[in-house]
Structure 1
């Protein structure tokens, strides 16, 4: 009798185990061909170049909005400073090991990040590149500003401010950054249209990855070149570093100054006449479109191989227009829970 009870209990246990196993087994979504459980969300790693500049906070907010709309989870992680290549490589490798579903990456070096991206793709983890290019063809899509066009807009603005003549400095950002290299190339191409009447007196100095380094590099340039009529900087930290150097040297407002990107200090510079033009990207849209695109890749939906997120030249003349206000003041707190 005891033996019968034992086998009856064993049979019931096996039946329950089999039932639970069947209920928790992966199900295939017929519309996408993807295999997942009912409770599993797609996990998307979003990896910026750095985490200190306001530009990356806007990208984070845009990515968070897309994640909420699509019902996916984003994991935001990147190096603190934009010169830490090894840290960004390690972050990508860690996400590959964790088995995330997709990666949205802003590579801070166009060469050294190519190998980690290749590793991800070989593990069937699609990668969407945002902000800055990569020397690879293995990524699914490139979502970014037309950086060369942004550089040309800045050249046109500065040339107009100088009435087509004068001595000009271009302070570069840092080697390996494809986005700023494009902006620098666009600026130099734009300046060629004005011929010998505009003299480029320095174009080979680099600001470095932080505002403090940019400030030091800017001070060195201003000390070296007593006579300068116009200056161009290709990103947020270099522009802010140069603004501070112009202010401390007493040359703000006297030198025509055009930069790239925006934050509170740079907008204040526009408003008080110390900055005469800013090429402003749409980082919120960049983060948003980056996540939407990688989700489309995962769900086998149509997507674009290249997405231009736009660039606008902001000046003292147009800064109070509705279009510019909307671009400069996205509601980041709503999406970042700040």
Structure 2
């Protein structure tokens, strides 16, 4: 009897050890915790980890857009020995060394939302950013077929994903005869208040500008200031001389569209990025092969379909 009891205890201990070995902690690192866009990636990460059952999603990044702090957080996760890292890269060059450190420690590393193609990251999940820039340009031309002047706005000059969007936007607009004004692009460093100020500055410096078309939704994340900017230019908006085409489809942006402060949104799918990041890291941890590039789609939202997107976001 005693032998059987000891055997049962041993089996239970082995099962507990195996169960612990199958439990993983994956870090999801945004460019900035103050950017509500990344809240959706966090939600997708958490939802997928709950679904998988043996995965814990650890969501942590810089308080605000700061590449050096992002690198330090990655180094901390390497030191802690997490089972995998997914990072939205603020500066593609700055993460090369720390990604190598993680890989040398046998920690899988992927990028989401913003890539670092020169690094040893094993996969990327996100948007076809050049195509997003093109779509922003196409939607603008649909509303304003006559070439005019334009300005654009980005987050940070070292963000590869945003630079790809700018390249796609320029390809379409400059190819159609649009002219970029002096001082464009501006860089808001993912700061909503600064983003709104920059939009107002462009409009003040260029009273006849045909469009200001950011490649991210930063200004709309401070809706009061954004509304003030649009209200100051509403006569030109209503006359069709100043179309409002903006990036991303967060709930606050969808509501601004419904209220008449945006005409078209071209949006990414950050929730899906968070989900897929967990799936890919789990596959890598199990030694499975994954696709190097994993694209999620784009959404184009107008007055005609905004209610559907608003309902889905609640």
Q: TM-score range by the shorter chain?
A: 0.7 to 0.9
In the other structure, the counterpart of 1:199 is: 179
CA deviation after TM superposition for structure 1 residue 302, in Å? 3.5
CA deviation after TM superposition for structure 1 residue 167, in Å? 2.2
In the other structure, the counterpart of 1:161 is: 143
1:224 correspondence with 2:205: yes
Residues 1:184 and 1:139: Cα distance change in structure 2 (over 3 Å): same
In the other structure, the counterpart of 1:99 is: 81
State the SS of the aligned residue for 2:181. strand
Unaligned residue ranges in structure 1 (runs of 5+): 1-15, 28-35, 332-338
Residues 1:231 and 1:59: Cα distance change in structure 2 (over 3 Å): same
Is the deviation greater in 56-65 or in 213-222? 213-222
Instruction: Return the alpha-carbon distance in structure 1 between the equivalents of residues 102 and 136 of structure 2.
Output: 37
Instruction: Return the alpha-carbon distance in structure 1 between the equivalents of residues 248 and 189 of structure 2.
Output: 16
State the SS of the aligned residue for 2:20. coil
1:258 correspondence with 2:241: no
Instruction: Return the alpha-carbon distance in structure 2 between the equivalents of residues 162 and 55 of structure 1.
Output: 28
Matched pairs, number: 299
RMSD: 2.5
1:116 correspondence with 2:98: yes
**Aligned pair partner of 2:162 in 174, 180, 186:** 180
Asked whether the equivalents of residues 96 and 119 of structure 2 are also in contact (C-alpha less than 8 Å), the reply is: no
State the SS of the aligned residue for 2:43. helix
Residues 1:291 and 1:259: Cα distance change in structure 2 (over 3 Å): same
Instruction: Return the alpha-carbon distance in structure 2 between the equivalents of residues 137 and 174 of structure 1.
Output: 19
Instruction: Return the alpha-carbon distance in structure 2 between the equivalents of residues 23 and 65 of structure 1.
Output: 30
| 1:28-76 superposed Cα distances (whole Å, 9 cap, x missing partner) | xxxxxxxx64334111111111112222111011111221222211211
In the other structure, the counterpart of 1:80 is: 63
Asked whether the equivalents of residues 193 and 219 of structure 2 are also in contact (C-alpha less than 8 Å), the reply is: no
Larger Rg: 1
Asked whether the equivalents of residues 218 and 245 of structure 1 are also in contact (C-alpha less than 8 Å), the reply is: no
Asked whether the equivalents of residues 44 and 73 of structure 1 are also in contact (C-alpha less than 8 Å), the reply is: yes
Residues 1:115 and 1:20: Cα distance change in structure 2 (over 3 Å): farther
Is the deviation greater in 37-46 or in 135-144? 37-46
CA deviation after TM superposition for structure 1 residue 186, in Å? 0.7
In the other structure, the counterpart of 1:132 is: 114
Asked whether the equivalents of residues 171 and 238 of structure 1 are also in contact (C-alpha less than 8 Å), the reply is: no
In the other structure, the counterpart of 2:254 is: 267
Instruction: Return the alpha-carbon distance in structure 2 between the equivalents of residues 97 and 315 of structure 1.
Output: 46
In the other structure, the counterpart of 1:141 is: 123
CA deviation after TM superposition for structure 1 residue 236, in Å? 1.9
CA deviation after TM superposition for structure 1 residue 106, in Å? 1.0
CA deviation after TM superposition for structure 1 residue 79, in Å? 0.8
Asked whether the equivalents of residues 220 and 252 of structure 2 are also in contact (C-alpha less than 8 Å), the reply is: no
CA deviation after TM superposition for structure 1 residue 135, in Å? 4.1
CA deviation after TM superposition for structure 1 residue 221, in Å? 1.4
In the other structure, the counterpart of 1:279 is: 266
Q: TM-score, normalised by structure 2?
A: 0.86
Asked whether the equivalents of residues 41 and 271 of structure 2 are also in contact (C-alpha less than 8 Å), the reply is: yes
